[in-house]
DNA sequence: AGGTATAAGTGATATTTGTCAATAAAAAAC
DNA sequence: GTTTTTTATTGACAAATATCACTTATACCT
């Protein structure tokens, strides 16, 4: 976890969060003066569930795993943090504690921004406040849809959904090297790692995807989408 | 759906939403001048998933069922709306459509408040904005915890959790007449209605609850809590 | 009150999915 | 490059849970 500043300014930071666009020059300066940059190695924990939340984490580069540590040491992977995402757990505004953990999947460069600063910006800039509300709402919607998927879809539907998520949201390509293990893919879709392997093979047999270890290729996207939607 | 104003003013309304406390006298007047009151009979739909969302719904009296219409006509009950709750789906701030349906379980008196007014209040009153953010966050946290319960707990744990929810959050008593059918209880805990009946009987056999049709009585709350937590 | 719709309860059976044990394949460490 | 450790894969089996068919209550209607 090095501490040199590698990003010289928020203003120049090409990967800024959508909502930062609502800030004035001086507000960005405030942000820039109050951020702390850190680099994480794969596997390192960036935020720990249950710990006090005093900072938001802005992901500059790399990928991270956002997950809830549930019962019996079982994790549930909520999503994948990708560059220019601002990670703020909902616990922050309720009991000032992290409601999930975040760990680096690749080398990650992140900026920590104090909530005092964020709250000040919310207070003084209504558009920024709306942006925060929108961001929270988008995440809530995603949680709702996840809830439906997990309760109403069968394993093939859930796995198909996860594969589409990686193709469309994470890698933006139908051929990719998935960064998650089968175990983790299971933690994301609520299935045992053995089931992930089996369903993946089923999808391969029916000619929908091709998977060889970490490499996954979507062959018939329409069919995959159908499987994902039908459940 | 009658239209007479039965609540003469928001100012006097004893059941106001927590966040309305952050409003000034004149802001409450604005609210009061822009609300529309309606009464619903049991079963009637108050908000319909997918329809344009132009109003928030403030529940003045009665109880409502908040549910997602999922795949294959299967519903998932997100929660129970009780008096003094402001119902705003997360879809509002994203695509201006309802992300869930709400229907009356009892006779419901509700006020409809236009989002234009709410957004104006967010813009001019930072504390109110923080209140909105907190409200959204609380709901997000609840969704997260529901996600973990549904994926990691077995049926007895999920049903125990639901019973505790009704006792502690809805009826505030360990003996109550549950308003949901077994079918609906299943839609809330992701189990078949037959399973609800069976697990309920199991809980009765082990002396944890007593249930006779709609009447449910918690006999051993500690044990019920244990079942709920252990999963 | 009697008849009809709706919900609750029950048992048998089928489906889905997880667990266990073992092996094969990759990746990491020396 | 070989050893060690982790991850992927496989098959057999077990557990959890749904579905179906049916009976019994309960509520609803005229």
- CATH number of the domain enclosing A182: 1.10.10.10
B72–A152 CB contact, under 8 Å: yes
CA distance A220 to B23: 55
Model pTM? 0.93
> Distance, angstroms, CA B156 to C1' D15?
14
**Same domain flag for B45 and B122:** yes
Q: Which residues pair with A37 in a beta bridge?
A: A111
Say how many C-beta atoms besides its own lie within 10 A of residue B106's C-beta.
12
Report the number of distinct structural domains present in chain A. Answer: 2
Residue range B74-92, pLDDT digits in tens: 999 999 999 999 999 999 9
Work out the end-to-end distance of chain B between its first and last CA atoms, rounded to an integer number of angstroms. 42
Encoding tokens for residue A91? Answer: 């616990």
- Identify whether A8 is part of a domain: no
Q: Which of residues 142-171 of A touch strand C (CB under 7 A)?
A: 154-155
Determine the pLDDT at residue B27. Answer: 94
- The angle at the Cα of A68, spanning A64 to A73, to the nearest 5 degrees, equals 115
**Same domain flag for B209 and B194:** yes
- Identify whether A9 is part of a domain: no
CATH number, position A24: 2.60.120.10
Q: Which of B134, B149, B164 is the last residue of a domain?
A: B149
- Are A176 and A167 in contact by the 8 Å Cβ rule? The answer is yes
Q: Which of B114, B149, B184 is the last residue of a domain?
A: B149
Closest listed residue to residue A112, CA positions, set A39, A54, A35: A35
* Region for B45 from its dihedrals, namely left if φ exceeds 0, alpha if ψ lies in -120 to 50, beta otherwise: beta
**Same domain flag for B80 and B106:** yes
**Same domain flag for B25 and B125:** yes
In the DSSP assignment, the letter for residue B73 is: G
Question: Can you say how many angstroms the Cα of residue B202 is from the centroid of all Cα atoms in its chain?
Answer: 27
Residues 6 or more apart whose CB falls under 8 angstroms from that of A190 comprise A76, A150, A158, B151
> Does the C-beta of B189 come within 7 A of strand D?
no
Determine the pLDDT at residue B4. Answer: 55
Q: Mean pLDDT lowest for which of A21-25, B64-68, B182-186? A: A21-25
Of A72, A78, A136, the CB nearest to B133: A136
Q: Which of B108, B130, B149 is the last residue of a domain?
A: B149
Phi, psi of A114 (to 5 degrees): -65, 145
- For B61, B170, B193, B205, B217, the CA distances from B200, given in Å and listed in that order, are 30, 19, 11, 9, 11
**Which parts of chain A sit beneath pLDDT 70?**
1-8
**Same domain flag for B64 and B103:** yes
Q: Which residue in chain B has the smallest CA separation from A186?
A: B151
B183-220 in b/e burial notation, b at 16+ Cβ within 10 A? ebbbbbbbbeeebbeebbeebbeeebbebeeeebebee
When pLDDT is averaged across residues B126-147 and rounded to a whole number, the result is 96
- Identify whether B10 is part of a domain: no
Determine the pLDDT at residue A5. Answer: 59
Instruction: Kindly tell me if the per-residue pLDDT of B5 is higher than 80.
Output: no
> Distance, angstroms, CA A69 to C1' D29?
53
**Same domain flag for B129 and B46:** yes
- For A136, A204, B74, B115, B140, the CA distances from A231, given in Å and listed in that order, are 27, 17, 12, 35, 24
Q: Does A74 touch chain B (CB under 8 A)?
A: yes
**Same domain flag for A121 and A214:** no
When pLDDT is averaged across residues B37-43 and rounded to a whole number, the result is 94
Q: Looking at chain B, list the stretches that DSSP marks H as alpha helix, in order from N- to C-terminal side.
A: 25-33, 92-95, 115-124, 126-152, 155-165, 182-189, 193-205, 221-230
When pLDDT is averaged across residues B97-117 and rounded to a whole number, the result is 95
Tell me which range, B22-31, B35-44, B153-162, is most confidently predicted by mean pLDDT. Answer: B153-162
Determine the pLDDT at residue B12. Answer: 77
**Same domain flag for A141 and A162:** no
Q: Which of residues 162-191 of B touch strand C (CB under 7 A)?
A: 181-183
Determine the pLDDT at residue A134. Answer: 96
> Distance, angstroms, CA A171 to C1' C21?
36
**Same domain flag for B161 and B109:** no
A68–B132 CB contact, under 8 Å: no
- Identify whether B130 is part of a domain: yes
- Identify whether B12 is part of a domain: no
**Same domain flag for A115 and A177:** no
**Same domain flag for B25 and B115:** yes
Longest alpha-carbon distance in chain A: 57
- Identify whether A13 is part of a domain: no
Which nucleotide lies nearest residue A212, CA to C1'? D8
Strand C positions within 7 A of protein Cβ atoms: 7-12, 16-21, 25-27
Question: Regarding beta strands A175-177 and A215-218, do their DSSP bridges make them parallel or antiparallel, or are they unpaired?
Answer: antiparallel
Q: Looking at A87-192, list the stretches that DSSP marks H as alpha helix, in order from N- to C-terminal side.
A: 92-95, 115-124, 126-152, 155-165, 182-189
Encoding tokens for residue B166? Answer: 């009704």
Mean pLDDT of chain B: 93
Work out the end-to-end distance of chain A between its first and last CA atoms, rounded to an integer number of angstroms. 42
When pLDDT is averaged across residues B208-220 and rounded to a whole number, the result is 94
**Same domain flag for B27 and B113:** yes
- Identify whether B215 is part of a domain: yes
Question: 3-state DSSP call for residue A177?
Answer: strand
| Chain B contact set for A132 (CB, 8 A) | 133
- Identify whether A180 is part of a domain: yes
Domain that holds residue A214: 153-230
Say how many C-beta atoms besides its own lie within 10 A of residue B5's C-beta.
11
């Amino acid at each position: 976890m090095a501490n040199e500043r590698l990003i010289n300014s928020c203003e120049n930071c090409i990967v800024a969060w959508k909502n930062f666009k609502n800030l004035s020059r001086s507000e960005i300066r405030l942000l820039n003066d109050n951020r702390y940059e850190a680099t994480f190695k794969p596997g390192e924990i960036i935020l720990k569930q249950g710990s006090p939340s005093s900072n938001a984490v802005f992901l500059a580069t790399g990928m991270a795993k956002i997950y809830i540590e549930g019962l019996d040491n079982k994790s549930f992977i909520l999503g994948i943090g990708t560059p220019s995402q601002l990670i703020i757990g909902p616990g922050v505004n309720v009991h000032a504690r992290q409601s999930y953990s975040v760990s680096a999947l690749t080398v990650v460069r992140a900026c920590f921004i104090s909530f005092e600063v964020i709250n000040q910006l919310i207070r003084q800039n209504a558009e920024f406040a709306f942006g925060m509300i929108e961001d929270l709402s988008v995440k809530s919607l995603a949680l709702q849809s996840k809830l439906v998927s997990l309760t109403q879809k069968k394993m093939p539907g859930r796995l198909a959904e996860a594969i589409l998520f990686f193709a469309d949201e994470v890698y933006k390509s139908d051929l990719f090297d998935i960064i998650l293990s089968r175990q983790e893919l299971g933690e994301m879709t609520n299935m045992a790692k053995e089931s992930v392997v089996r369903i993946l093979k089923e999808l391969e047999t029916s000619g929908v995807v091709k998977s060889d270890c970490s490499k996954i290729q979507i062959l018939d996207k329409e069919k995959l989408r159908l499987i994902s939607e039908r459940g």
